[in-house]
Amino acid sequence: MAGRINRKEILVVAMQQFSNRGYAGVSMRNIASACQLNIGSLYHHFNDKQELYLAAVQQAFTGRSAHLLAVLKSNKPPQNRLSSLIDVLCQILDEDQTFLKFVQRELLDGDERRLKYLANQVFGTLIIELNQLCRQISPQLDPVLLANTIIGMVLHLFQSAPLRQHLPGFQQEHQQPEIISQHVQQILWQGLISPHLRGSL
Amino acid sequence: MAGRINRKEILVVAMQQFSNRGYAGVSMRNIASACQLNIGSLYHHFNDKQELYLAAVQQAFTGRSAHLLAVLKSNKPPQNRLSSLIDVLCQILDEDQTFLKFVQRELLDGDERRLKYLANQVFGTLIIELNQLCRQISPQLDPVLLANTIIGMVLHLFQSAPLRQHLPGFQQEHQQPEIISQHVQQILWQGLISPHLRGSL
DNA sequence: ACAAAGTAAACGAACGTTTGATACGCTAAC
DNA sequence: GTTAGCGTATCAAACGTTCGTTTACTTTGT
């Protein structure tokens, strides 16, 4: 009676463990005891470790792009859409560490099957829309690379946070999603040389 | 006689294995057999797995920033220095996968001691110089965040390469370091809106 | 000869997985 | 209203394998 946990609850626990310590770094016993569950019971819900890991990854990814896609498809002007996208992305990454860590791990492990799943099911439609938006906003740049770069600027500022703490010049506010979003947008809109200085070149 | 391997050669093997599959994903037996060495011999060179891992990480990082630092400290004008830095960084990341993968893994694992080592011994002086360069080039932006963002743009374009292959709009040339460097610089110097369009806003 | 570098074999612990028995929640028959 | 039955969930215990590490011994280079 104290036990009785459902599949979804197990997946939430597995998500946290796998995203933090990786596939090989987490044992079935780790997850079982974190769920206050016997290891035999864990195998009642999932056939093997691979299946549990895959389900946890999918759980972490499902529905995660819906919000971003809605922003991209709104009928505001292109520049506003990009601005909102960056805002929302920063918000999501700040709230949910799991998502970002899984993306990093999948990039590192490089399993072809799971990368294809990521590309098609998670990021596919999102990237198509973002590519198109980039083409509209900045016709002189390669839209595919630009889309990737924008995502990368934001992702890196979040994933490098643990290191940045120890780097010279660190300030607490550099971790705030609003600050990060604003900073990225500043670079994108005006580049390094502010417009009023450009004439003097 | 076939055996007889030195510490440095073991570390090169360990670097490759650990960077690709992580600490928990590689066993001492894996590394020993990859060196064509008995596991006992491995323990003759390193006291335990942690020591071997740490030595492999350090091996991957040592001297890696020297080239970048030289570029930063050259007496060319600031904009040229940044341009060269991005060029060289792209070159390094293209040649050496190990370095980037270890950085990613250290960011993920978040071990405080190793992060401090990374921050102080590997990136410390580099970041100080880059911060100062950013302050010179772009006084209106936060130099610390800007330095981090520039590094992040480049890093992400390389670490996302395995995923990008499966994303819509992929082109082979998006993997070339020269193309990536040029793209990043384009964004930085002019932003998304090219100067001749800026007047129409 | 002696230290350094190699080996085979074993240690206990932890791993993924399986087994067989036990408790629970529900429905249907009495 | 009780109870027999049944599928589902939980459990303790064990399987064989691999893990990190140690031991005792042999080979090698100088």
Kindly report, residue by residue over B130-146, the tens digit of the pLDDT. 999 999 999 999 999 99
Kindly report, residue by residue over A90-109, the tens digit of the pLDDT. 999 999 999 999 999 999 99
The whole-angstrom distance between A152's CA and the closest CA on chain B is 5
Q: Contact, B90 vs B67, CB < 8 A? A: no
A190 pLDDT band (50/70/90 cuts)? Answer: confident
Instruction: Report the residue of chain B nearest A191, measured CA to CA.
Output: B191
CA A25/CA A53 separation, integer angstroms: 12
Residues constituting chain B = 201
pLDDT of B200 higher than 70: no
Q: Return the percentage of chain B with pLDDT > 70, whole number.
A: 95
pLDDT of B7 higher than 80: yes
pTM of the model: 0.92
Residue whose CA lies closest to nucleotide C24 C1': A1
Predicted pLDDT at B85: 97
Q: Do B157 and A149 touch (CB under 8 A)?
A: yes
Q: Do B142 and A183 touch (CB under 8 A)?
A: yes
CA B31/CA B13 separation, integer angstroms: 7
Between the CA of residue B197 and those of B57, B191, B192, what are the distances in Å? 47, 11, 10
Q: Which of residues 94-153 of B touch A (CB under 8 A)?
A: 101, 104-110, 115-116, 118-120, 123-124, 127-128, 131, 137-138, 140-146, 148-149, 151-153
Q: Contact, A138 vs B189, CB < 8 A? A: no
Identify which of A69, A67, A72 has the alpha carbon closest to the alpha carbon of residue A82: A72
Kindly give the residue spans of alpha helices, DSSP state H, lying in chain B: 7-21, 28-34, 39-45, 49-61, 66-72, 78-95, 97-109, 112-117, 124-137, 143-159, 161-164, 177-190, 195-198
More confident residue, B38 or A64: B38
Instruction: Tell me the nt nearest to B38, Cα to C1'.
Output: C7
CA of B22 to C1' of D15 (A): 29
State the number of CA atoms in the 13 A half-sphere of A162 facing the CB. Answer: 19
Cα-based angle A132, A133, A134 (whole degrees, multiple of 5): 90
B201 pLDDT band (50/70/90 cuts)? Answer: very low
CA B96/CA B115 separation, integer angstroms: 20
Residue whose CA lies closest to nucleotide C4 C1': B44
B19 pLDDT band (50/70/90 cuts)? Answer: very high
Predicted pLDDT at B198: 56
A199 touches chain B (CB under 8 A): no
Size of interface A-B (CB pairs under 8 A): 205
CA of A63 to C1' of C15 (A): 34
Question: What CA dihedral angle connects B163, A190, B127 and B74, to 10 degrees?
Answer: 110
Kindly report, residue by residue over B54-76, the tens digit of the pLDDT. 999 999 999 888 899 999 999 99
Provide mean pLDDT across the span A157-161. 97
Q: Do A168 and B138 touch (CB under 8 A)?
A: no
pLDDT of A3 higher than 80: no
Predicted pLDDT at B195: 57
Partners of A171 on chain B (C-beta within 8 Å) are 144
A37 pLDDT band (50/70/90 cuts)? Answer: very high
Q: Do B183 and A157 touch (CB under 8 A)?
A: no
Instruction: Report the residue of chain A nearest B106, measured CA to CA.
Output: A163
